[in-house]
Structure 1
């Protein structure tokens, strides 16, 4: 069962930094400019290590896909195939 505590432990311990440059498919990293849970740097840095990444920065905080659903869907559909 997932718990907030398990999610926090995972977020603090997983390290995929060295794998990011090997991603070659179109990749979307969505960031909320005012996210109080995930610092913007945690989106900017990985997106910068993926050559094919797009990084739309949407206003608001955590939960951007729920608040800006139309903008998120539009961004996804505009990704190259």
Structure 2
């Protein structure tokens, strides 16, 4: 299991389009991928979980990947977030 903290840079936070893009990246991997925000956690492969988290610009998320391709999954997620999730 590996964890990494990232800060959301999207000016409008994770609304539907970037949330969907985050889920698409996560679903490419077999690993179980979750993220913590405040006291709560969410499944990074579920658009509804990501949207329900109400993530805003500047929020810090801690991603946790656990599985056979956890390193590749974490690298892809961090790259996608740092590149704005298609925004």
Same fold by TM-score greater than 0.5:
no
| Structure with greater Cα Rg | 1
Q: TM-score, normalised by structure 2?
A: 0.26
The structure with the greater share of residues assigned to strand is 2
Q: TM-score, normalised by structure 1?
A: 0.27
Structure with the greater relative contact order (CA < 8 A, sep ≥ 6): 1 or 2?
A: 2
